Structure formats: structure tokens, C-alpha cells
């Protein structure tokens, strides 16, 4: 074997529409798994998902179910800690290190009055719209909407 | 050697990939862990990457060690 796979690698594109804590976890875990297995990966953050890219907000989303005014999330977080699940911040850093792309939807930024200065520019590769998503998605073998 | 003992999904897979990216062709990377699914998923990833798995050791449900040639 001569090492890393040849030809152009397969690609996964994930729309992160939800800003829910658990769903953002799913997006990053799947994205990291894909990169680790030799695929390219893009996460397109839009609508509620984009809120998670604001500074200090990555792990601040509610649970998609049983949030119970924060009580459910507290419980899940403590169980995740016990199970040694790594933080979203760590997953985001690994995602970047393995060459994953994080894209921010600029229409959502307009709607919500978010400027690039409000966002984690250290994580974001590009500010873009649906055309960029489609350009990425049409050459992807896997696409997910979370 | 990459020590992922006690770590869960997706860390062993990601750490194996990170180590292989840093390794030079011909290097042997050893990954040690306890997460059961990673024991079969790391070799799956290596197949996808076209890398050779030199050996998989360890008891069912216990600590495992996978050796990979970059």
C-alpha cells in the first residue's frame, strides 16, 4: 500500500439548521467520523444552527427533547461527562484540524442582524448562500439535514 | 503511540486519523483504546484510506491495540 487513498475523495455535506445542543453534537460527530474515514466534509450552518457559531454559544443550545427549562440538559451533560464524551469545542477544533469546512449562511446573518465580528471567525471558512451549498452538495455522496 | 483508553466515539477514530496525517510514509502508528466499536471501525477507516493494518490485538470487550502502516 502506498498510503492515503488516491483519486478525489468522497464528500459529505451537512446542513446544520438546528441550534439544539444534541443535534449540533450529531453534526460534528458525523463530520469528524467522515473526515477520519478519508472523506471531505462541509458543515453549512443556517438559521438556528448559525446561532451556535456566535462567540461563546457553541454548547449553549437547548436539548431538542426533554430540555425542561435546562434541567434535562444539565442531566444529559453530566451523563455525557461520565461517559467521557468530549466537548463541542474539542470536536470543532478536531474538525478544522482534519480539514473540515464550516460555512456560514449570510442570509441568516442578515435576518438575525449578525455581523462576522459576532461569529467564531476562527472556525468559519466562508460566508455564503444556497449556491455554495448546492455546489458542495452536488458533488457529495452523502448529504444530511440536521 | 496513540492512547485512547477510556475515550469514546468519535475520539479514537479521530485521533488515529490525526496521528496518521502527522506520520511519514512507512511509519507504524499504534492506537490503544477501550471503546468497543472503534476496534472494528478503525480498520474500516484504514481500508477506506488504503492503509495497511498490521495487527489487531485484544480480548473481546477489553483493551485493544491496532497497528497501522502509514
Q: DSSP character for B29?
A: E
Q: Are B43 and B66 in contact (CB under 8 A)?
A: yes
Entry pTM = 0.92
- End-to-end Cα distance, chain A: 37
Q: What pLDDT band is residue A1 in, cutting at 50, 70 and 90?
A: very low
pLDDT of A36 higher than 80:
yes
Give yes or no: B9 in active site. yes
Sort strands B64-69 and B28-33 into parallel, antiparallel or unpaired: antiparallel
* pLDDT value of residue A2: 41
Name the minimum distance, in Å, from the CA of B41 to any CA of chain A: 9
Counts for chain B of helices (H) and strands (E), in that order: 2, 4
CB contact under 8 A, B7 and A86: yes
Residues 48-67 on B with a CB inside 8 Å of A are 48-52
Name the minimum distance, in Å, from the CA of B51 to any CA of chain A: 5
Mean pLDDT of B25-50: 96
Helix locations, chain A, DSSP H: 21-36, 47-50, 71-82, 88-97, 106-112, 130-137
* pLDDT value of residue A99: 97
Q: What pLDDT band is residue A4 in, cutting at 50, 70 and 90?
A: low
pLDDT, tens digit (0-9, with 9 covering 90-100), for A11-29: 999 999 999 999 999 999 9
Q: Are B42 and B13 in contact (CB under 8 A)?
A: yes
User: Which of the residues B1, B9, B44, B49 is marked catalytic?
Assistant: B9
Q: Are B34 and B58 in contact (CB under 8 A)?
A: no
pLDDT, tens digit (0-9, with 9 covering 90-100), for A62-119: 999 999 999 999 999 999 999 999 999 999 999 999 999 999 999 999 999 999 999 9
Phi-psi category of B2—alpha, beta or left, where left has phi over 0 and alpha has psi -120 to 50? Answer: beta
Q: Is the ipTM of this complex over 0.90?
A: no
* pLDDT value of residue A71: 96
CB contact under 8 A, B8 and A85: yes
pLDDT, tens digit (0-9, with 9 covering 90-100), for B4-20: 999 999 999 999 999 99
* pLDDT value of residue A7: 64
* pLDDT value of residue B60: 85
Amino acid at each position: 500500500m502506498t498510503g492515503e487513498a488516491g483519486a478525489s475523495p468522497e464528500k459529505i455535506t451537512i446542513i446544520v439548521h438546528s441550534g439544539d445542543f444534541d443535534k449540533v453534537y450529531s453534526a460534528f460527530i458525523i463530520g469528524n467520523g467522515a473526515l477520519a474515514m478519508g472523506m471531505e466534509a462541509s458543515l453549512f450552518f443556517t438559521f438556528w444552527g448559525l446561532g451556535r457559531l456566535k462567540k461563546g454559544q457553541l454548547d449553549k443550545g437547548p436539548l431538542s427533547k426533554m430540555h425542561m427549562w435546562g434541567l434535562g440538559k444539565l442531566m444529559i451533560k453530566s451523563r455525557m461527562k461520565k461517559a467521557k464524551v468530549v466537548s463541542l469545542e474539542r470536536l470543532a477544533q478536531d474538525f478544522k484540524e482534519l480539514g473540515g469546512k464550516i460555512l456560514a449562511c449570510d442570509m441568516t446573518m442578515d435576518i438575525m442582524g449578525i455581523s462576522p465580528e459576532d461569529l467564531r471567525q476562527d472556525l468559519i471558512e466562508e460566508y455564503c448562500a444556497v449556491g455554495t451549498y448546492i455546489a458542495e452538495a452536488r458533488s457529495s455522496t452523502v448529504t444530511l439535514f440536521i | 503511540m496513540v492512547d485512547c483508553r477510556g475515550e469514546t466515539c468519535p475520539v479514537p477514530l479521530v485521533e488515529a486519523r490525526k496521528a496518521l496525517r502527522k506520520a511519514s510514509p512507512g511509519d507504524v502508528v499504534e492506537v490503544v483504546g477501550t471503546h468497543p466499536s472503534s476496534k472494528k471501525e478503525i480498520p474500516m477507516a484504514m481500508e477506506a484510506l488504503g492503509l495497511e493494518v498490521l495487527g489487531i490485538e485484544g480480548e473481546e470487550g477489553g483493551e485493544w491495540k491496532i497497528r497501522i502502516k502509514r
